Amino acid sequence: MNAEIVTNCVVLGFDCKRIQKTISLLGLEAEHGQHAERLRSEFIEGKAEALVSSCLDALAPYEDFLLIKENIGVESFKERWIDYLCGFGQNFDTPKYFEDRLGIAVAWAHKRVPLGVLHLQHCLIQQALVDSLLIQCKLNPKTVWPLVDCIFKITSLSMYLTVEGYHLVEVDELQKTLDRLNKEASQLHQKVATDQLTGVLSYSTLMDTLERQVNKAKQNGSSLCVVMADLDFFKKVNDTYGHLVGDIVLKLTARRIQAAIRSFDMIGRFGGEEFVIILENTDLALAKIIAERIRLGIAGTPFHAKKFEIDITISLGMAMLKKDDHLETLLERADAAMYKAKKNGRNRVAVADNLEATS
* Active-site annotation, residues: 273
How far is it, in rounded angstroms, from Cα 214 to Cα 202? 18
Cα 200-202-203 angle, rounded to 5 deg: 130
Cα 23-27-32 angle, rounded to 5 deg: 85
Is residue 329 within 8 A of residue 272, CB to CB? The reply is: no
Alpha-carbon Rg for the chain in angstroms: 37
What's the maximum distance between 2 C-alpha atoms anywhere in the chain? 113
Residue 218 to residues 10, 73, 280, 334: CA-CA distances in angstroms? 53, 70, 12, 18
Q: In this structure, are strands 314-320 and 308-310 parallel, antiparallel, or unpaired?
A: unpaired
Is residue 52 within 8 A of residue 82, CB to CB? The reply is: yes
Is residue 217 within 8 A of residue 330, CB to CB? The reply is: no
How far is it, in rounded angstroms, from Cα 192 to Cα 200? 11
